[in-house]
Amino acid sequence: MDHLDDISIEELQEALDEVNAAKPAQRLLAAIAYKNGITQTELAEWYGVQRRTIYSWLKRLDDGPLDQAVVDAPRSGRPRKLTTKQRQEFEAALHESPTEVGYDEPAWTPALVGRFVHDAFGVEYSEPSCRRLMKEAGLEYRVPPRPPAGAGSEDESDDRGSGQWTP
């Protein structure tokens, strides 16, 4: 074996008992299988990953303490477009009516949120991102319930498509 010569199956099993996330558990299970004679190629097929990925998992376990080697380092991701202070101002505004913030609209829509964020903070967001921001701010989209059959006249139009975002 090229890897894990200094780590016993028992140590790997103890580490497996300590992890709570799926990815570290998967890596430890792969290492245990490897120690039991399963090849890297077979493991790659089992887990649906490249052989190089299995090699990396095993190398990480060789190089560091097990508890640290099985977890990924935190990743920063893309920075937010709005600062924390701007985000707080944005969310407070969404809990007001658009008219109170200076827009002649009856309710917040993703398009209106995009316009507001651009006007207030000079930041562009797509409509899907505006929907996500609205949801993160605690708003949800609600469609009015369908009236019971026969409750209105036949020529009344169904206005179920006119839902709105509400806190």
Q: Which residues span the domain enclosing 32?
A: 9-69
Residues 137 and 88 in one domain: yes
Residues 130 and 91 in one domain: yes
Residues 61 and 99 in one domain: no
Average pLDDT, the chain: 87
3-state helix, strand, coil in the chain (%, to 5): 50, 5, 45
User: Which domain-ending residue is among 23, 44, 69?
Assistant: 69
User: E strands within the chain?
Assistant: 140-142, 164-166
Q: Is residue 152 part of a domain?
A: no
Q: Is residue 151 part of a domain?
A: no
Q: Which long-range contacts (CB under 8 A, 24 or more apart) does 96-102 make?
A: none
Q: What digits encode the pLDDT tens for the residues 62-90? A: 887 888 888 888 888 888 899 999 999 99
Indicate the residue type of 61: L
How many structural domains are present in the chain?
A: 2
| Interatomic CA distance for residues 62 and 51, integer angstroms | 17
> For position 147, what pLDDT does the model report?
75
> For position 165, what pLDDT does the model report?
73
CA 164, 85, 140 angle in degrees (round to 5)?
15
- How confident is residue 164, by pLDDT bands cut at 50, 70 and 90? confident
Q: Mean per-residue pLDDT for 111-135?
A: 94
Q: What digits encode the pLDDT tens for the residues 29-44? A: 999 999 999 999 999 9
Q: What digits encode the pLDDT tens for the residues 49-64? A: 999 999 999 998 988 7
